[in-house]
Amino acid sequence: MTDLETPVATPPRTGALRRAAPALLGYAAVRALGLITLAVWSAANGKSAHTLLTARWDSLWYTRVAELGYGYEVRLPNGDVHSNLAFFPLLPWLERLVSALTPLSYADAGLLVSTLASLAAAWGIFAVADHVYGRRAGVCAVLVWAVLPIGIVQSMAYSESLFTALAAWSLYAVLTGRWLTAGTLAALAGLTRPVGAAVVAALWVAAITSFVRDTPSPRDTSYVLNRSARHPDGAPAWRRALGMLLAPLGAAGYVLWVGHRTGGGPLGYLDVQAQWGNGFDGGYAFARFVGDKFTSFPSALAGLGLVVGVALVVWLYVTCLRQGQPLPLLVYAGIVTALALCASGYFGSKPRLLLPAFPLLLPLAVTLSRMRTPRSALVLGGVAAASAAYGAFWLNGTGPP
């Protein structure tokens, strides 16, 4: 444990919501500012903020899955096929469920699910940061996540908020020794986005590390007296093992089902993604994209901004390592970051793909938590205003987020 960490006991369940209340209220305020700004900006441009949040880009694809099921596809002039099999099923399942239970359309059901999930994500981020660094850092972590430039995505009918909620609470369950809960949430995260593999890996690494730590040496006679092989968190070995078995079921089940449906075998899902132009090339395509920006002066500024942005992400991860974050958080954030930066798909979506990598924000949260409250409030308030303006400008643009 580093000197930056302030270990705290897990709060009792009856007081957990009260403990997180400042973070959740602050998060709701930031999101409200973003939505009001979007509504005003969109109206000034003759557009509907509601449509931008619920019925464009990926949100349309999720709605079609909820309404029509899988099998819908668009054939492009160049012969590529965009199939809705690329979109994992948990969000459209929830859209269908909410729409069946309420008068809401599938699109509005998606917006409701995303709104509730964003609050659950904020609470999960608070729980993780509070557990590792204390309550004040937990509040700051939630607010930093809320004021990210692409924070408006948290309020869209997209799957990022749902995935982040499941990932954060799964990681919290790992950190607090609730292995069955962690495995179940990891399986649900795997049904939400392909990057659910990061949650599975984090749980597996934590569990394997605990098994190695528990393995007795030949001279360790005390182990003979404790054959239940309990982890220091009190969880018996079978719970950790069962959590490991549960974790990959969601992602593996969907990917195998897609492979069977398409006839592509276990790798059939990768073929579906390839038709969308998505793949993993170690960052080669992204590096070429950035390099091409330096061929002229105006675009060179954008290229420089991309270089600075990537450098900032790498610096934050290195700082997480130096601060000694718990291993599950490092594994999770590292995989999310690597998949986002090294994918060959639509480059404009990379900031959105990094949104679930909330452990990267913990160093900033720790720094803010050490400031006096008026100063940290001034910093966060200024960034929140800028983020709200940028989010409104971004969504009123031509390209998808």
Does the pLDDT of residue 23 top 70, yes or no?
yes
- Summary mean pLDDT of the chain: 90
Tell me if 240 sits within 8 A of 179, measured CB to CB.
yes
152-177 CB burial, b ≥16 within 10 A, e <16: bbbbbbbbbbbbbbbbbbbbbbbbbb
Domain boundaries, the chain: 16-215+240-395
Q: Which helix H or strand E contains 343, and what residues bound it?
A: none
Task: Name the band, by pLDDT with cuts 50, 70 and 90, for residue 234.
Answer: low
Average pLDDT rounded to a whole number, residues 375-396: 96
Give the residue among 349, 353, 334 at the shortest CA–CA distance from 289. Answer: 349
Q: What is the rounded CA–CA span in Å between residue 355 and residue 52?
A: 19
Give the pair of three-digit tokens for residue 400.
């998808």
Task: Name the band, by pLDDT with cuts 50, 70 and 90, for residue 12.
Answer: low
Give the residue among 340, 344, 272 at the shortest CA–CA distance from 73. Answer: 272
Q: What is the rounded CA–CA span in Å between residue 102 and residue 121?
A: 23
Q: Tokens 């069946």 sit at which residue?
A: 100
CA dihedral of residues 204, 209, 211, 212 (deg, nearest 10)? 140
Tell me if 151 sits within 8 A of 138, measured CB to CB.
no
Query: One-letter amino acid identity for 134?
Result: G
For the ranges 126-135, 193-202, 215-224, 325-334, the lowest mean pLDDT is seen at 215-224
Q: Which helix H or strand E contains 37, and what residues bound it?
A: helix 13-44
The pLDDT score that the predictor gives to residue 294 is 86
79: left (phi over 0), alpha (psi -120 to 50) or beta: left
Task: Name the band, by pLDDT with cuts 50, 70 and 90, for residue 298.
Answer: confident
Dihedral sign, CA of 317, 322, 325, 331?
positive
Task: Name the band, by pLDDT with cuts 50, 70 and 90, for residue 227.
Answer: very low
Does the pLDDT of residue 3 top 50, yes or no?
no
Total-model pTM: 0.92
180/8: higher pLDDT: 180
pLDDT digits (tens, 9 = 90+) for 253-290: 999 999 999 998 888 999 999 999 888 888 888 888 88
pLDDT digits (tens, 9 = 90+) for 97-107: 999 999 999 99
Q: What is the rounded CA–CA span in Å between residue 144 and residue 137?
A: 10
Distance of CA 304 to the CA centre of its chain: 26
